[in-house]
Every structure is written in structure tokens, then in C-alpha cells.
Amino acid sequence: MASAELFGTIGMVDVFLAMALLIVIASFVSLYRGIEGPGIFNRIIAVNVIGTKTIVLLVLIGFIYERPDFFDIALLYAILNFIMTIAATRY
Amino acid sequence: MSDTIINLTNVITVLLLLVGAFFMLAGTIGFVRFPDFYSRMHATGKCDTLGEGLMLVGLIVYGGATFVSVKILFLIMFILLANPTSTHAIAKAAYDVGLEPWRKLDDRVEWLDTGNTDDGRDDQDGGEER
């Protein structure tokens, strides 16, 4: 499945690695607002956004290393992120 | 898959991944650059949901009709349910605490000059901590 190549030497795994790198860069940019942002609600949003990016990152890692275990971890992480946000906004 | 250099599945996958990554980066830039809590949430709440959905749809197209794709489909459905719900919960919690929304400077000065305090919102608490 992963042996189909796009442009000669660039395989699909390299494209997935580039997308994962973009997501990691976006997560660090969001982390700036999480550290610097005034008030507690900006930090709650930052945690929510980074968790949302982490879900896609986990699915991409599962496709890069061809291990289907990571999709279960991504689903569990989505549920935990949602529950954490609701609990943080209730109290 | 076939051993051609460019087949249709890979092209569709790369296009969906690029569009999804563009939406995610745009949402992140808006999250850093916008002046207010509510407008930051306006930037992240929609762009992240759409970008993540597009990237996962691209990965479904790449993976084909397997059990893994059904799992990612469940993930997309859960995200489309949960992410606007959590955004709404954060916004309602912030509004109940009393964060006032950001408005333009001319509007605020004119509103202060006329002395009209009957604006329909209580504005004295939590104004500094946006």
C-alpha cells in the first residue's frame, strides 16, 4: 500500500511526514498563546486546539509506521479531550 | 495499488491533506493574531474542525475500504459532534464569567461620550482580563 510513489523518489510516507511536521509547527505556535495568553480561557482553548491537532498527528503516525494501534489511541484521545474541556468549563 | 508513478488516489490524498493543513495553519495564525478571546475562538473553532475533517478524509481515501477507514470515519463523526460542543461550552462559560467582547475603539469612545449606560450588557467586571 505504501510502495506507490508520487514523483520518482518521493513516496507517500514523505508527504505524511511533511504534514506531521506542519502540524507540529502549528502546535508550537498555538502553545505560545497557551503560555502567554491573558486569562484562563485562552489557555483552555489552547489545550483544546493542541489536542485537536494531536489527533490528526496520531493518525498520521499510524499511517507512517503502518501500525493500526494508533487509531484506537487517537479515538481515545478525542474522547478524553472532549471530556477534559467540558469538565474545565463546568468548574 | 498499481505501480504507476501518479495514480488518482495519491493525488486526491495529497490535495485533501494540503487543503486541510492550510485550514489548520490559517486557524493557528488567527488564534495567535486576533485581539480578543471570542474572535480567537471564532478562528479556531471552525478552522480546526474543517481542517481536521479534510485531512482525515484524505487519509480515508489513501487507506481504501478497510476496517481502519471505518475507524477513522467514526473519529471524524465524533470530532464533528464534539468540537463545536466544546467550543460552545467554552464561550458560554466565558460569557457567564463576564468577559466583555472586544469592540472597535471609535465605537467605544462614542459610547462613553454619550453616557448611555443602558447598553444591555454589564461592562464593569472582567474588562481587563481578555
The percentage of chain A sitting over the pLDDT mark of 90, rounded to a whole number, equals 36
User: In angstroms, rounded to a whole number, what is the distance separating the alpha carbons of residues A71 and B57?
Assistant: 14
pLDDT of res. A34: 86
Task: Of B74, B66, B10, B8, give the one whose Cα is nearest residue A16.
Answer: B10
Residue A35 domain flag: yes
Q: How confident is the model at residue B39 (pLDDT cuts 50, 70, 90)?
A: confident
Which DSSP state fits B17? Answer: H
Residue type at A28 in one-letter notation: F
B interface mutation test: which of A52, A66, A80, A83 has the most B CBs within 10 A? A52
Query: Is B125 domain-assigned?
Result: no
Q: With a cut of 60, say whether residue A7 has pLDDT above it.
A: no
Residue A3 lies in a domain: no
Residue B127 pLDDT > 60, yes or no?
Answer: no
**B121 within some domain:** no
Retrieve residue A34's grid coordinates.
Answer: 497557551
Determine the Cα–Cα distance for residues A41 and A47; give it in Å rounded to an integer.
Answer: 10
Domain that holds residue A65: 11-90
b/e map of A23-53 (b: 16 or more CB within 10 Å)? beebbeebeebbeebebebbbbbbbbbbbbb
Residue B70 within any structural domain of the chain: yes
ipTM of the complex: 0.81
Q: Give the domain range for residue B41.
A: 8-114
The total domain count for chain A is 1
Of A26, A81, A90, the CB nearest to B28: A26
Q: Which residue has the cell 476496517?
A: B67
Locate all alpha helices (DSSP H) within chain B, ordered by sequence.
8-33, 37-63, 67-97, 105-114
Residue pLDDT, tens place only, B42-61 = 888 889 899 999 999 999 98
Task: List the single residue in A30, A81, A85 with the smallest CB-CB distance to B28.
Answer: A30
Indicate whether B119 belongs to any domain: no
